[in-house]
Amino acid sequence: MSYLDSVWLLIAIPLVSAGVLLVLGRRADRWGHWLGCASVGVAFVLGLSYFITLRGQDDRSHSVDLYQYMPVGGLKVDVGLLFDPLSAVFVLLITGVGFLIHVYAVGYMAGDGGRRRFFGYFNLFVAAMLLLVLGNNYVMLYVGWEGVGVASYLLIAFWYTRPSAATAGKKAFVMNRVGDAALVIAIFLMFATLGSTQYADVFAGVGRLGEGTLLALGLLLLLGACGKSGQFPLQAWLPDAMEGPTPVSALIHAATMVTAGVYLIARSNPIFNANSTAQTFVVAVGALTLLIGCIIGCAKDDIKRVLAWSTVSQIGYMFLGVGLGGGAYALAIIHLLAHGFFKAGLFLGAGSVMHAMHDQTDIRRFGGLWRYMPITYGTFLVAWLAIIGLPPLSGYFTKEPIIVAAFEREGWTAWLFGWAALLGAAITAFYMTRLFWLTFHGPKRWTDDIEHPHESPPVMTVPLVLLAVGSVAAGGLMVSALSVTDWLTPVLGEHAEREAVMPHGVITALSIVFTVLGGALAWALFRNGTALVEQPAGPVVTAARKNLYTDAFNEAVFEKPGIYLTRALVYLDSKGIDGLVNALAATVGGGSGRLRRLQTGFVRSYATSILTGALLVVAAFLAVNYGWLS
Amino acid sequence: MSDLQLPHINYAALAPMLILFGAACAGILIEAFVPRERRYPVQLGLSLAGVVAAGVAVITQAGTRTITAGGAIAVDGPTVFLQGAILALGLVALLFVGERSLEAGGPFVAQAALIAGSEPDRRQVVRPGATEVYPLMLFAIGGMELFVAANDLLTMFVALEVFSLPLYLMCALARRRRLLSQEAALKYFLLGSYSSGFFLFGIALIYGFAGRVDFAGIHAAALGSDRSNALLYGGLALLSIGLLFKAAAAPFHVWTPDVYQGAPTPVTGFMAACTKVAAFGALLRVLYVAFDRVSWDYRPVLGVVAILTMLVGAVFAVTQTDLKRLLAYSSIANAGYLLVGVLAMSKDGLSSSMFYLVAYGFTVLAAFGTLTLVRDADGEANHLSRWAGLGRRSPVFAAAFTFLLLAFAGIPLTSGFTSKFAVFAAALDDGQTWLVVAGVITSMVLAFPYLRVVVMMWLSEPAESTPTVSIPGVLTSTGLAIGVAATLVLGLVPAPLLDLSTKAAEFVR
Amino acid sequence: MTVSDVLLLGLGAVAVGAALLVVTTRHLVRAGLYLVVALGAVAGIYLVLAAELVAWVQVLIYVGAVVVLLLFAVMLTRAPIGPSEDLDRPGWPALLVGGGSGLGLAALLVDAYRWSTVDRDQVGDAQRLGTEIFRSWVLPFEVLSVLLLAALVGAIVVSRPEVGRARPRPPDRGER
């Protein structure tokens, strides 16, 4: 028995707490939120202790099978957990950031009647997310994957009075289903070709797979990851999902849940390492999404929307990292962790601003707030500098190596993806500076009902300060003192030093120059505030305001045909076969006309379709018999 | 005149059916001799006792492998498992059928043939319903028990009729929306007889080929007969049409939405759960025992049927606005998933299909059971728009229904996920990749209609006309609790039942 | 061509011809009577094949009971005299379906048997059938009685007069 055998407690504690909160109902209203916080806090402490235990072990991976889940023929699926460096890091991120969000939510949700329920869903989410990263096979990962999905719809739908929340929930569901289908097919493909879904067996068997199978597997996993992480072409749901409810639940979609896609690809690194085409696809998706995200981010005026698109863009960087392979896996994970800190800081800061401004989210109606909310201002400042990647804040240490790694690719793709990453850095600096400046500096453009904005209560500002400290220190610490890269080596492989197409120093200098230029441009443009209403603009800005027409594209290519198909089917269902028969027979009895209004379909038309089907089936069987098909 | 030698009959093996038929006959006597006002409790008690006793009789047969009654009955692992499943599901269905607290006099009327809407018909709405429904239900369950145990085509045909006829009748007995109910019964009867015709003609062709109708004989003849194979394939095609009709597979599904919608909701649940078990049990036996030697030839054809069924079920479900019709199309799609498991043609295929039947049966029973609770002055309110905002009015109820819908959608930690996973894995193990891909994609499509219901319940404002959720009586509550608990338990720890079905998965020939 | 071949051909032609008349005539009652001819011809075929019991059962049940029931139903519901115009529906879809299935099945059977012959060593008399039923098919036979019982109950449930009323009005009001 090892201490790590009890790692299931991590999942059980939030799960039990969620159960208590949701089952007890109103009886738990008074203390429910504290139970919610405590369960995640305990999970964090427990996770830390497991982490330390693992550090002390020689074998940095502990797998434990709890019970047999599904014995289906050759496939044995167990409920099994795996605690290794990669899952350990994610456990700390999920419970750590999760705990801070919980504490913050106690303050933010204080006036809300549904606070207990909110914490119930929240704990459910944490439990599912932990299951996702702790499972030792793909089926467990999928169970957690769907679990976070369900919890996420519940959280999106929490503000169900707003129609936009309902629409957002639907969109999230649709796009996630596409990704989920891909993931399920990938899992079945593993089972079909390798006979197992255990990580250990799958990765050991990668060498036995053919090129085509590996590519298919890689692309399916990528599509699954895109669905959950809001990457192109499934990116549209993510910003909408963040728009609906509070910054608190938006944060789930920023710091934790959406990183599941990155986790999936990093976890499956042996599969991607074995197939460079699949890797190139990941890189391309990452590069494209990071550009889409930051370009659209420039054109948005809603503080949460900007942060939402910024999340899409930052996850693009992470995909770029995991796609580059080799040492870049660890870089992507480090960026993910750092992003967890500063994006949390930004979202919670935005929440604090909204709290002060009567739920106003339009940055054109902010301005000059630095004087009124100093703590929020300070922490936001730190997070802003961190995300645009100025040294010595954490973004610099985590984003810049990814850019360098992009330049380390072979051939012309190094230039393509390297410059895409650089350009992305510049645009990120532009839109984040715009956001920051318009919110906290410049002239006041408040709506009339706001007299004197006030700083948020300590229960909200303390997490902010903690996150700001993390934003300052985390990046540098993780790269140097904590050497997260080495820690992750057993899972993700060695970091191999490769030649970049430009010297490292030049790339570093370029990225800093680009960042400063982007920020300076934004400062120059928005130093004196901005117009209160949307101004007519050129084609580029208009396109960006319309999400680069991706929604329109989805609508034209998927929604419209879907609607027409549905209409056609409704018609067919209600009168199609009847209509057909009527056209043939040209008579409808008087008595049957009355029935017709009540229910669709005549027995005779049903009998006709059964007969037609029967003839087809018999014909097919006879065709087999006489060998017509061969 | 030669001596007539009676075949040996193993009465213990026949006990479940004998008990059920006996209880049904006793029920008819009760109709004749017990005063009207006391019939309901007596009939209900007798039926429940009969089903439980038959269940005990089935359990004692665990491990038996025998062919008895002149080769008409095969008692083996699948028989015992499926008979047990039918009885367990039938018991829950009986709880819903027996509920009388939701509506005065129960969900049935006494006279099915009165002209719908006529004055006497309106009068009977407020009077107690027919108690003949209990013996009819016992006949149906007994017929299903025989159906999954039948070891030759003739017995199978008789069993098919024995369980179909009571179902036709029960469809006509709905208390509300009488016209729909009568129409459903008539449609079901006409189309059911029609499909029986196919089945019977198939038997004739098979007899022409093999000269016998017992499964072992057909199996032996398939190796080599001096007759043309056209008879074998033609016969198999017609036989499977008859069975696929009962299983509601496309394109033989057309009756399903209308009948499910028109029939009294407890009966619909009974049909969706138990008829499916019976139909697939028989299909499994026919394909695995009698025709296994030609499986390579019919698999592609039935594979196309499976894909078509999944597609039709999933795509048409998207367009439905009536919950009963929606569940009907969902049950069609589930027939497709079951076919995927059946076509695996392996021990795993058999065991996972049997597991699927049980898992799906409990979920669908609970789902139809919840439908009986949402009512307004005109009876059940099944239109989707009427469910707007129910989540706010009755959160517990709506949460339970949401859970069931998640199970239908195949979300993990519900039996819907484990059962789909099991049949897909079995099919994949056998190289039926195309079926699995189609299954995964359609099950993703099928999630949307369920989501629409969830969104409707939780995200819409309750309207003035939003119906109320009745407080369920003891019977319905018990049934719902069993259904929801089974959905959850089979999702969390499916291994014991999967082990059981694997152990049972061997036919006797 | 033996005598039985000629008889079979002749009876078959009668059966098919009468069946065609059943679906083409505009007189409902005549359709029922043609049905008697068609079913009777089939009974004749059974006789030629030496299945005497089946032949008489066919006569008793189909010709005797079913057709009579049918005719009674016609008489009780509408009792038309002369042609019924509303029976005139375009017949070609039905012709297509019926003719197609019939010809297809015929082709299938002809192809399956070709010129092979089947020995007809025993006559299908009552004793042989009884022995078979009570030796090999005793269980299905007994279960059939259950089916009939269920049908009986069902017929009562569906068609019985209004129950549970203390007859507040005299029965001649046409409610029963």
d(CA B221, CA A456): 85
Contact C100 A615 (CB under 8 A): yes
Q: What is the pLDDT of residues B79-134, one digit of tens each?
A: 999 999 999 999 999 999 988 887 777 788 877 777 777 777 777 777 777 788 89
Type and span of the H or E element at A401: helix A394-407
Residues of A in contact with C78 (CB under 8 A): none
| SS3 category, A4 | helix
B343 is a domain residue: yes
Summarize the confidence of residues A88-97 as an average pLDDT.
Answer: 87
What pLDDT is stored for residue C130 in this prediction? Answer: 85
Instruction: Report CA torsion sign: B363, B369, B375, B378.
Output: positive
Does the pLDDT of residue A212 top 90, yes or no? no
Distance of CA A542 to the CA centre of its chain: 26
- Single-letter amino acid code for the residue at A233: P
Contact A175, A237 (CB under 8 A): yes
Q: What is the pLDDT of residues B434-482, one digit of tens each?
A: 899 899 889 888 888 888 888 778 777 777 777 777 788 888 999 999 9
Q: Are residues A510 and A575 in the same domain?
A: no
Q: What are phi and psi of C159, to 5 degrees?
A: -110, 0
Q: Which chains border A (3 or more CB–CB pairs < 8 Å)?
A: B, C
What pLDDT is stored for residue A239 in this prediction? Answer: 76
d(CA B500, CA B359): 13
Beta-strand ranges (E) seen in C16-163 are none
Contact A585 C89 (CB under 8 A): yes
A65 is a domain residue: no
Q: Model confidence at B308, in pLDDT bands (50, 70, 90)?
A: very high
Type and span of the H or E element at A62: strand A62-72
Q: B228 and chain C: CB distance < 8 Å anywhere?
A: yes
Chain B residues 171-190 within an 8 A CB cutoff of chain C: 172-173
d(CA A135, CA A495): 26
Q: Tokens standing for C11?
A: 């009876």
Does the pLDDT of residue B213 top 80, yes or no? yes
Rg of chain A over Cα atoms, rounded to whole angstroms, equals 27
d(CA A340, CA A330): 15
B5 is a domain residue: no
Q: What is the DSSP letter of B211?
A: S
d(CA C116, CA A234): 66
Q: Tokens standing for B388?
A: 């707007």
Q: Model confidence at A473, in pLDDT bands (50, 70, 90)?
A: confident
Q: C109 and chain A: CB distance < 8 Å anywhere?
A: no
| Cα end-to-end span (Å), chain C | 61
Find tokens 């009745």 and name the residue: B470
Lowest mean pLDDT across A280-289, A502-511, B397-406, C113-122:
C113-122
Chain B residue with CA closest to A156: the answer is B459
Nearest CA distance, A522 vs chain B (angstrom): 40
Contact B71, B151 (CB under 8 A): yes
Structural domain that includes position A611: 561-626
d(CA B491, CA A147): 13
d(CA A283, CA A190): 23
- Single-letter amino acid code for the residue at C63: V
SS3 content of chain B, % helix, strand, coil (to 5): 75, 5, 25
d(CA C110, CA C101): 14
Q: Are residues A577 and A530 in the same domain?
A: no
The CA distances from residue B188 to A390, B156, B255, C47, C85, in Å, are 74, 19, 7, 36, 29
What pLDDT is stored for residue A578 in this prediction? Answer: 44
Q: A584 and chain C: CB distance < 8 Å anywhere?
A: yes
Q: What is the pLDDT of residues A165-179, one digit of tens each?
A: 666 667 777 778 888
d(CA A246, CA A252): 10
Q: C24 and chain A: CB distance < 8 Å anywhere?
A: no
Environment class of residue B293 by beta-carbon count within 10 Å: exposed (0-12), middle (13-18) or buried (19+)? middle
Contact A465, A375 (CB under 8 A): yes
Environment class of residue C139 by beta-carbon count within 10 Å: exposed (0-12), middle (13-18) or buried (19+)? buried
Find tokens 């504690």 and name the residue: A13
How many CB pairs below 8 Å do chains B and C form together?
Answer: 125
| SS3 category, B74 | strand
Contact A118, A66 (CB under 8 A): no
Rg of chain B over Cα atoms, rounded to whole angstroms, equals 22
Find tokens 């059981």 and name the residue: B500
Q: C111 and chain A: CB distance < 8 Å anywhere?
A: no
Nearest CA distance, B309 vs chain C (angstrom): 24
B499 is a domain residue: yes
Q: Are residues A574 and A504 in the same domain?
A: no
Q: Are residues A413 and A453 in the same domain?
A: yes
The CA distances from residue B318 to A557, B390, C111, in Å, are 19, 21, 45
Mean model confidence pLDDT for chain A: 79
Find tokens 């005598």 and name the residue: C3
Find tokens 């934790």 and name the residue: A256
Nearest CA distance, C144 vs chain A (angstrom): 27
Does the pLDDT of residue A61 top 90, yes or no? no
Q: Are residues A524 and A571 in the same domain?
A: no
Which range is most confident: A58-67, A294-303, B340-349? B340-349
Q: Are residues A387 and A504 in the same domain?
A: yes
- Kindly write down the DSSP assignment for every residue of A411-469, as one continuous string: THHHHHHHHHHHHHHHHHHHHHHHHHHHHHSSS----TT-S---PPPHHHHHHHHHHHH
Type and span of the H or E element at C24: helix C3-24
A250 is a domain residue: no
Q: Which residue among C108, C140, C147 places its CB closest to the CB of B165?
A: C147
Q: What is the pLDDT of residues A424-469, one digit of tens each?
A: 888 888 888 888 888 888 777 777 776 677 777 777 788 888 888 8
Q: Are residues A531 and A570 in the same domain?
A: no
| Other Cβ atoms within 10 Å of A4 Cβ, number | 17
- pTM for the structure as a whole: 0.86
Q: How many domains does chain A have?
A: 2
What is the number of H-type helices and E-type strands within chain C? 7, 0
Contact B230 A626 (CB under 8 A): yes
How many CB pairs below 8 Å do chains A and C form together?
Answer: 18
| Other Cβ atoms within 10 Å of C81 Cβ, number | 8
Q: A620 and chain C: CB distance < 8 Å anywhere?
A: no
Q: C118 and chain B: CB distance < 8 Å anywhere?
A: no
B396 is a domain residue: yes
Q: C105 and chain A: CB distance < 8 Å anywhere?
A: no
Contact C89 A615 (CB under 8 A): no
Q: How many domains does chain B have?
A: 1
Stronger pLDDT, B369 or A167, i.e. the higher one: B369
Beta strand B66-68 pairing with B73-75: antiparallel
Which of residues A501, A535, A569 is at a domain's end? A535
Q: Which chains border B (3 or more CB–CB pairs < 8 Å)?
A: A, C
Contact C108 B71 (CB under 8 A): no
Q: B406 and chain A: CB distance < 8 Å anywhere?
A: yes
Q: At what angle do helices B178-210 and A590-598 cross, to 10 degrees?
A: 100
Q: CA angle, corner A444, sides to A441 and A447, nearest 5? A: 135
Q: Which of A364, A365, A521 minimizes the C-alpha distance to A429? A: A521
Contact B139, B24 (CB under 8 A): yes
Summarize the confidence of residues A610-622 as an average pLDDT.
Answer: 85
In the beta sheet, which residues pair with residue B152?
B214
Residue A547 gets the label, from left (phi > 0), alpha (psi -120 to 50) or beta, of: left
Environment class of residue B8 by beta-carbon count within 10 Å: exposed (0-12), middle (13-18) or buried (19+)? exposed
B6 is a domain residue: no
Q: Are residues A605 and A491 in the same domain?
A: no
Does the pLDDT of residue A630 top 70, yes or no? no
Contact B440, A184 (CB under 8 A): yes
Q: Are residues A405 and A296 in the same domain?
A: yes
Residues in chain C: 176
Q: B21 and chain C: CB distance < 8 Å anywhere?
A: yes
Contact B435, B340 (CB under 8 A): yes
Structural domain that includes position B31: 11-504
Residues in chain B: 509
Mean model confidence pLDDT for chain C: 80
With a cut of 50, which residues of chain C have pLDDT below it?
A: 166-176
Type and span of the H or E element at B379: strand B379-380
Q: Which residue among C136, C144, C163 places its CB closest to the CB of B158?
A: C144
Peptide bond before residue A233 is cis, with ω within 30 degrees of 0:
yes
B323 is a domain residue: yes
Lowest mean pLDDT across A155-159, A522-526, B84-88, C162-166:
C162-166
d(CA B414, CA B362): 12
B509 is a domain residue: no
Fold entry, domain C1-84: Four Helix Bundle (Hemerythrin (Met), subunit A) (1.20.120)
Beta strand B468-469 pairing with B374-376: antiparallel
| Other Cβ atoms within 10 Å of C6 Cβ, number | 11
B371 is a domain residue: yes
Contact A615 C90 (CB under 8 A): no
Contact A316, A231 (CB under 8 A): yes
Residues of C in contact with A618 (CB under 8 A): 104
Contact B70, C135 (CB under 8 A): yes
Contact A172, A152 (CB under 8 A): yes
Type and span of the H or E element at B68: strand B66-68
Q: Which residue among A585, A589, A608 places its CB closest to the CB of C90?
A: A585
Residues in chain A: 630
Q: Where are the domains of chain C?
A: 1-84, 125-159
Q: C158 and chain B: CB distance < 8 Å anywhere?
A: yes
Q: Are residues A466 and A581 in the same domain?
A: no
Q: B444 and chain A: CB distance < 8 Å anywhere?
A: yes
In the beta sheet, which residues pair with residue A70?
A77
Environment class of residue C37 by beta-carbon count within 10 Å: exposed (0-12), middle (13-18) or buried (19+)? middle
Contact C147 B161 (CB under 8 A): yes
Stronger pLDDT, A188 or A596, i.e. the higher one: A188
Q: Which chains border C (3 or more CB–CB pairs < 8 Å)?
A: A, B
